[in-house]
């Protein structure tokens, strides 16, 4: 390589939405290329992917996965060529590469392909020529030349995978927000931007609907220990939030127990009521749902009363209709009295690596909700997360109560002072 380190920058749809945005992206790229071999990964412009999906539906309500990938992959191909043209115009050497050219090999699974390997020869060849390499995110190619896509938010994953393959010293995810916040600042104006967060916390937040980073990209960054950064295209001097190893967070900060509060209002609840309390029922239900590709999130099984139990769970709202159909088919088989469902729910979660060693965090969360007059319908916990299902109308109030309870508007240092 020309320089002794390589940097990968990823720019999302809002960062490349129009000519002015793309020029801004190129300014950032040029500056970064002074110190490192530079690879840029870009998404489709603005809402281009949504428009293409809408276009497809004019022809076929359920387009074949292969053909949809053929269509959607054009979005990123447009962006890479425009970024290259813009860099050329600014007087810099640059080349655009689509997945087939970048050696971005995936399995053959359309619309949600997993990455098999990245053959970096060609990317490295161009870096060695001193060129800025612009790679189309989101897309891949199978060994036999079929175009695939990684699924929504896949460009983050593309960037991290390339950073891993090139052993890049850094992967910056540029977006339209300036980092990861303690909670959604549109809901809680006091939300504080975090300078540092662990992969594990980010993963929980990403999965919980924080929408800043795609969970797969965080998983991958964690696996390959990629120095990840979330920052704003429109505030290029701001360093944003660094996503690092848990041990690094612990060493560098007197961690607060709770790092952030996430909200997911795209969930729905579904329950099998009055099921006989005998072995194998839960297994039967969730096995069938899994076979039909319905992902389950929170599961709650009631304590038996009069020999019957209730089994409730949450699914993404998009899958509710399908889940209800399956549930109604299963109701007789498992001997349920009835099937109930409710879309008007939200999941509010606290995430924090500091929770691991601090008892009483859950109690503190529940009491803050109780004091705000909010009823908890379901609870689920992991090592670094506690989630409560509540009424959707109460979700903003809940986030505010929790955010206040844990003093998230202030960093640890500020609290100590």
Strand partners, 341: 270
Give me the least distance between CB of 129 and its own copies, in Å please: 14
Write out the E strands in 206-290: 228-232, 241-244, 260-264, 267-276
- Closer residue to its own copies in complex, CB, 77/301: 77
- Closer residue to its own copies in complex, CB, 93/288: 93
- Closer residue to its own copies in complex, CB, 63/352: 63
Shortest CA distance to 284 belongs to which of 302, 311, 304?
A: 311
- Closer residue to its own copies in complex, CB, 145/307: 145
Write out the E strands in 246-400: 260-264, 267-276, 296-301, 308-316, 338-342, 345-351, 378-382, 385-391
Give me the least distance between CB of 125 and its own copies, in Å please: 11
Cα–Cα separations (whole angstroms), residue 414 to 50, 254, 408, 411, 417 = 43, 12, 11, 5, 5
- The SS3 of residue 317 is helix
Binding site for its own copies (CB under 8 A): 19, 22, 52, 55-56, 58-61, 63-64, 66-68, 70-71, 73-74, 77-78, 80-82, 84-86, 88-89, 95-96, 98, 100-101, 145-147
Phi and psi at 55, nearest 5°, equal -60, -45
- Closer residue to its own copies in complex, CB, 86/401: 86
Give me the least distance between CB of 61 and its own copies, in Å please: 8
CA distance 363 to 355: 12
- The SS3 of residue 347 is strand
Give me the least distance between CB of 142 and its own copies, in Å please: 11
- The SS3 of residue 60 is coil
Give me the least distance between CB of 50 and its own copies, in Å please: 15
Give me the least distance between CB of 16 and its own copies, in Å please: 11
Cα dihedral 27/29/32/35 (nearest 10): -110
- Closer residue to its own copies in complex, CB, 61/373: 61
- Closer residue to its own copies in complex, CB, 133/168: 133
CA distance 396 to 387: 15
Give me the least distance between CB of 22 and its own copies, in Å please: 7
């Amino acid at each position: 390589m020309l320089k002794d380190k390589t940097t990968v920058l990823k720019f999302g749809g809002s960062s490349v939405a129009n000519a002015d945005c793309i020029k801004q992206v190129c300014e950032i790229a040029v500056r970064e290329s002074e110190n490192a071999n530079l690879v840029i990964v870009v998404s489709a412009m603005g809402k281009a992917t949504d428009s293409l999906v809408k276009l497809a539906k004019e022809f076929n309500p359920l387009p074949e996965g292969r053909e949809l990938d053929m269509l959607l992959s054009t979005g990123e191909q447009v962006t890479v060529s425009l970024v290259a043209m813009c860099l050329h115009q600014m007087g810099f050497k640059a080349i655009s590469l689509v997945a087939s050219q970048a050696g971005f090999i995936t399995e053959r699974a359309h619309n949600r392909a997993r990455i098999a390997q990245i053959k970096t020869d060609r990317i490295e060849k161009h870096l060695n020529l001193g060129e800025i390499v612009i790679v189309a995110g989101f897309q891949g190619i199978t060994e036999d030349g079929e175009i695939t896509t990684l699924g929504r938010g896949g460009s983050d994953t593309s960037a991290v995978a390339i950073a891993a393959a090139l052993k890049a010293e850094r992967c910056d995810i540029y977006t339209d927000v300036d980092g990861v916040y303690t909670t959604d600042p549109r809901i809680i104006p006091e939300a504080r931007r975090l300078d540092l967060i662990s992969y594990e916390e980010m993963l929980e937040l990403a999965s919980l609907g924080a929408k800043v980073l795609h969970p797969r990209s965080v998983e991958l960054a964690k696996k390959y220990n990629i120095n990840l950064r979330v920052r704003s295209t429109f505030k290029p001097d701001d360093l944003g939030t660094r996503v690092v190893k848990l041990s690094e967070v612990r060493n560098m900060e007197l961690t607060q127990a709770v790092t952030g509060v996430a909200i997911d209002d795209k969930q729905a609840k579904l329950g099998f009521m009055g099921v006989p309390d005998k072995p194998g029922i839960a297994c039967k239900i969730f096995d069938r749902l899994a076979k039909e590709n319905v992902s389950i999130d929170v599961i709650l099984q009631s304590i038996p009363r009069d020999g019957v139990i209730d089994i409730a769970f949450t699914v993404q709202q998009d899958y509710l209709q399908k889940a209800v159909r399956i549930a109604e088919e299963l109701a007789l088989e498992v001997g349920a009295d009835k099937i109930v469902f409710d879309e008007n729910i939200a999941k509010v979660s606290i995430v924090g690596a500091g929770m691991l060693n601090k008892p009483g965090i859950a109690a503190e969360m529940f009491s803050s909700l109780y004091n705000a007059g909010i009823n908890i319908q379901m609870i689920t916990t992991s090592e670094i997360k506690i989630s409560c299902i509540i009424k959707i109308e109460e979700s903003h109030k809940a986030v505010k109560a929790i955010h206040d309870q844990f003093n998230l508007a202030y960093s640890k240092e500020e609290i100590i002072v």
